[in-house]
């Protein structure tokens, strides 16, 4: 008997379980993976960012002479097995740290295994040694995350077709990589492997890559990727992945107005999205319902079965680790009977770890107009920015979206190397609804990229008749 | 006849002059230097950060193998003349951009020359060709900044003794560098030249370097510098700088309990502070008064002579470019008759571009206690941080100071590589008085250093009985 059964120890379930247990609830956290951390740690954000760090360093190294540094050769060899070993070491360290932190909470039990609901108040846990254990609970939280989608393309199960999780264990750098899907993961890994020496082609079904990103920023990044030699084809429909009989496959596709084409690849990366992980949970033994967007919940994240909640990727978009954590922490407060603010989509922030990075918080210009907001835009070109010039990363732009009536900042969108780190301020601006005038007056330290926020606000106000 | 004479085109005077002119006032901006930008652009922040960028890149290059990048040698040669050329190019570009921007404002006249007040309503401008021009004005703003202090040490005028401005034109990397003064400039340039190969000794009069910095952070940085081979001696009194007759000087000093010592240097960097630049301005022809802290002003930055204002370094501490700009913009609003919030010291932020960087906003723990605030501290160790681990920059810490009664954040202090870029959020937190609970609930994108703010806040609240 436990107070709360939490199924899934990722970015939603782990902080939720810890918060409830720290508040004195008896919590059982069941996780099937190698440790606490979920997809983000073991199969997503962290390992891909470790690869990207190596690529980023290699790019910087190739630019050393810009800064007066002379090397006999600027073409470093990449020791890929060292990169993989580094990845494994960081994952292990983080997984163990999370386990140790959980272990210090007396009322929290972490069980490695698969949980399957037997009824609305009981579940069976299958342990790694195949032994089974039955547990009853007062409340349960389903936080099983998501898995990559494999669209029904003929040949999609070929061993050379990797998804976003498989590729993180790839034994060598691909020579000819075809990426199916031009979302954040496809763009990030496409740039990483291009930098590391792969020939990269990116196939996207929509008319543009990076659909949800501000179109101006997406276009700058598209141009940059093409300049770096990544071949981008939009309006693609994938027909089949065909075995060549040799050391690769052909990806067959049609591209609008260009007819049928095919492209050789030794590696295909399939990144067309993720879907909630609902299989094998015994949901049918309960009243929990689910649809194409995952488990259905109300505004307090409670499922159709009272006492069973769901949180994170398993309830659908937006699938971000930090969003899942925010939901999990809000749910923990709610389950403790405390007032709780569940996160709102219009306050979310995200970073695409492209080169340069794209940071986003709140609404885009288009989303703000759809909501009937009288949109004002404060712009800034990083070509004029001191910090960006010093770092020779001055090809970027910032757009701050504000409401001309309420004066509040409702969105921030930046493309610049280092955009990720200025998104904390962006998220706070949007979350707290800071007026554009207050932003213009705030003192940002010099010389940093954060100054761009104040400068953009001041320039916008200088030409704003409402000011 | 002009409406407003602005003397000094640095970070205070330039934005002030532009703001007044954009509002329709006829403004004459007199600047003696090579362009608009002042000490910050031509003799301070920007050039020193350009040197530091080369050093930073060299450090990263030496760590390439950590990231699986193999180079035949990791000891790049530094082409110092290329670094100087890069510096000149960026300064030229920024100076010209500022001039061009000013040139687009019809009612703003920029005059290259030295201005000297002849009366409370007139001045004489000496042009580069030694011609003189007399101008009368309705109001004037003195924004002449500051200059390095040269303390009265015997031998201080030796050619090998450079100040913070001289060293930015040094023709080669020193072999044996002695730095007198352990403030931000001494620390930054000490680390830069140490990385570039100099033997560096730092002599500081106080018992610790980096006096105003949180002592915990200052100690971490002190240890780091010593590990990197910088010899730090505190409690020093400099007695003399003595010509060796050869290719250097001896710096003679006493260090507490160690008696008299001397140290050979081919270059001495004297960075013991700056003082307001008040000479040659004709202040004696007006009622403007000045003392050891510079020109004396009231809360609206007006001097003892009605209609003459002063702003920036020339009115004393804190001497930061971004502070001067904030003052200048606030003064411009005030002079336009608009309500204006002059910046408050407790909202200031600053970055020391050390390795790792130190970022500060608002009050330190000690300052908060002095003000009688019931201090709560939210801490975070970057050793546990995802982004810091990925970048292998995980030796750092964050301290958020909050008021346990009002719940508001009153200070943020971070030591970590990249601290500068998270200071925008820190400054906003302090400026807007965001409660620690709101910070804990805000969604920071993953994986970034900015997450540390939310994580620190949450950990503090988990053990805070008031929560």
- For position A273, what pLDDT does the model report? 93
- Asked whether B74 and B65 are in contact (CB, 8 A), the reply is yes
CA distance A385 to B49: 13
Q: Are strands B349-352 and B358-362 parallel, antiparallel or unpaired?
A: antiparallel
- Interface membership of B193 toward A (CB under 8 Å): no
Query: Tell me, what DSSP letter sits at residue A76?
Result: P
In B194-273, the DSSP E strands lie at 199-203, 231-233, 236-243, 249-255, 259-265, 267-270
A100 touches chain B (CB under 8 A): no
Residues A44-90 pLDDT 10s: 899 999 999 999 999 999 999 999 999 877 678 999 999 999 999 99
Name the minimum distance, in Å, from the CA of B159 to any CA of chain A. 26
Q: How near does any CA of chain A get to the CA of B11, in Å?
A: 10
Residue of A nearest to B20 (CA): A462
The torsion angles phi and psi of B295, rounded to 5 degrees, stand at -70, 135
**Smallest Cα–Cα separation from A278: which of A299, A252, A297?**
A297
Taking every pair of Cα atoms in chain B, the longest distance, rounded to a whole number of angstroms, is 72
pLDDT tens digit sequence for A322-376: 999 999 999 999 999 999 999 998 999 999 999 999 999 999 999 999 999 999 9
Q: Is B195 left (phi over 0), alpha (psi -120 to 50) or beta?
A: alpha
CB neighbour class for A66 (10 Å; exposed up to 12, middle 13-18, buried from 19)? middle
> Cβ–Cβ contacts within 10 Å for residue B149, how many?
13
| Contacts with B343 (C-beta within 8 Å, 6 or more apart), sequence order | A443, B323, B326, B327, B330
For residue B351, give the H/E element and its range: strand B349-352
Place of tokens 């031998």: B155
pTM: predicted TM-score of the whole model, two decimal places: 0.95
Confidence of residue A34 (pLDDT cuts 50, 70, 90): confident
d(CA A132, CA B455): 36
A-contacting residues of B 16-75, CB under 8 Å? Answer: 19, 22, 40, 45-46, 49-50, 53-54, 57-58, 60-61, 64-73
ipTM, two decimals: 0.93
Q: Are A164 and A49 in contact (CB under 8 A)?
A: no
Residue from B393, B444, B446, B467 carrying the catalytic annotation: B446
* DSSP-derived secondary structure letter, A302: B
- Residue B390 is nearest to which of A50, A82, A390, comparing CB atoms? A50
- B322 flagged as catalytic: no
Which positions of chain B have pLDDT values less than 50? none
- pLDDT of B43 reads 86
Q: What residues of B are in contact with residue A361 (Cβ under 8 Å)?
A: 445
d(CA A346, CA B217): 36
Return the pLDDT at A43. 86
- DSSP annotation of A22 reads H
B444 → closest Cβ in A329, A424, A444: A424
Q: Is B408 on the interface with A (CB under 8 A)?
A: no
For the record, the structure tokens of B182 come out as: 């352990």
- Which residue among B50, B68, B329 sits closest to A79, beta carbon to beta carbon? B68
Q: In a mutagenesis test of the A interface, which of B41, B84, B437, B444 is the best target, namely the one with the most A β-carbons within 10 Å?
A: B444
Contacts of B246 (CB under 8 A, 6+ apart): none
Residue A432 to residue B427, Cβ atoms within 8 A: no
Nearest to A344, CA basis, from A430, A420, A436, A407: A430
Nearest to B322 by CA among B47, B40, B95, B30: B40
pLDDT of residue B258: 74
pLDDT confidence of residue B40: 86
Mutate one of B14, B20, B50, B67 to test the A interface: name it (highest A CB count within 10 A). B67
Predicted pLDDT of residue B74:
62
**Torsion, Cα of B285, B291, B292, B296 (10° steps):** -100
Average pLDDT, chain A: 95
Residues A386, B94: C-beta atoms closer than 8 Å: yes
- Report CB contact under 8 Å: B53, A449: no
B431 close to A (CB below 8 A)? yes
Q: How would DSSP label each residue in B282-347?
A: -GGGSS--EETTEE-B-TTSBBSSTTEEE-GGGG-S---HHHHHHHHHHHHHHHTT-------GGG
Return the residue of A nearest to B445 by Cα. Answer: A350
* Radius of gyration, CA atoms only, chain A: 24
SS3 at position B40: helix
Work out the number of other CB atoms within 10 angstroms of the CB of residue A149: 14
Residue A331 near chain B (CB below 8 Å): no
pLDDT band at A467; cut points 50, 70, 90: low
Compute how many other C-beta atoms are within 10 angstroms of the C-beta atom of residue B243.
Answer: 12
Task: Catalogue all structural domains in chain A, each as residue range(s) with its CATH number.
Answer: 2-148+275-343 (3.50.50.60), 161-272 (3.50.50.60), 346-462 (3.30.390.30)
Give one word for B197, left, alpha or beta, with left for phi > 0 and alpha for psi -120 to 50. Answer: left
| Closest CB from B54, B82, B445 relative to A322 | B445
Per CB-CB distance under 8 Å, the chain B contacts of A453 are 424
Q: pLDDT at position B285, please?
A: 97
Give pLDDT, residue A398: 98
pLDDT of residue B267: 98
Do A445 and B347 count as a contact with CB atoms less than 8 A apart? no
pLDDT of A465 over the 70 cut: no
């Amino acid at each position: 008997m436990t107070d709360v059964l939490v199924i899934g120890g990722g970015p939603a379930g782990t902080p939720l379980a810890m918060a409830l247990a720290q508040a004195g609830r008896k919590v059982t956290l069941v996780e099937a993976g190698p440790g606490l951390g979920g997809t983000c740690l073991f199969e997503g954000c962290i390992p891909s960012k470790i690869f990207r760090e190596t690529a980023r360093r290699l790019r910087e190294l190739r630019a050393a002479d810009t800064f007066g540094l002379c090397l006999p050769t600027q073409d470093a060899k990449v020791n890929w097995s060292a990169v993989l070993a580094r990845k494994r070491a960081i994952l292990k360290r983080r997984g163990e740290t999370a386990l140790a932190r959980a272990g210090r909470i007396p009322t929290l039990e972490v069980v490695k295994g698969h949980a399957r609901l037997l009824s609305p108040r009981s579940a069976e846990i299958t342990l790694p040694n195949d032994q089974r254990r039955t547990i009853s609970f007062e409340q349960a939280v389903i936080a099983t995350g998501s898995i990559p989608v494999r669209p029904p393309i003929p040949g999609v199960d070929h061993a050379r077709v990797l998804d976003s999780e498989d590729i993180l264990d790839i034994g060598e750098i691909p020579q000819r990589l075809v990426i199916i899907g031009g979302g954040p993961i496809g763009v990030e890994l496409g740039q990483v492997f291009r930098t590391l020496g792969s020939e990269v082609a990116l196939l996207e079904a929509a008319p543009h890559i990076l659909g949800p990103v501000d179109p101006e920023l997406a276009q700058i990044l598209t141009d940059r990727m093409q300049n770096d030699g990544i071949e981008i084809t939009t309006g693609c429909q994938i027909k089949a992945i065909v075995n060549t009989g040799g050391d690769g496959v052909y990806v067959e596709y049609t591209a609008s107005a260009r007819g049928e084409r095919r492209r050789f690849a030794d590696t295909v990366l399939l990144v067309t999205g993720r879907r909630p992980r609902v299989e094998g949970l015994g949901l049918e033994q309960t009243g929990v319902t689910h649809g194409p967007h995952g488990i259905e919940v109300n505004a307090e994240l409670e499922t159709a079965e009272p006492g069973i909640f769901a949180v994170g990727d398993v309830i659908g978009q937006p699938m971000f680790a930090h969003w899942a954590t925010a939901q999990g922490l809000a749910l923990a407060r709610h389950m403790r009977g405390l007032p709780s603010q569940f996160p709102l989509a219009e306050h979310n922030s995200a970073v695409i770890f492209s080169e340069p990075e794209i940071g986003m918080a709140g609404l885009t210009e288009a989303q703000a107009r759809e909501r009937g907001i009288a949109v004002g835009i404060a712009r800034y070109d990083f070509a004029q920015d001191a910090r960006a010039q010093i770092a020779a990363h001055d090809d970027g732009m910032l757009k701050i979206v504000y409401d001309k009536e309420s004066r509040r900042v409702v969105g921030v969108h930046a493309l610049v190397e280092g955009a990720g780190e200025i998104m904390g301020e962006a998220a706070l601006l949007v979350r707290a609804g800071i007026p554009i005038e207050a932003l213009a007056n705030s003192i940002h330290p010099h010389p940093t990229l954060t100054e761009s926020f104040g400068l953009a606000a001041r320039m916008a106000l200088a030409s704003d008749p409402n000011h």
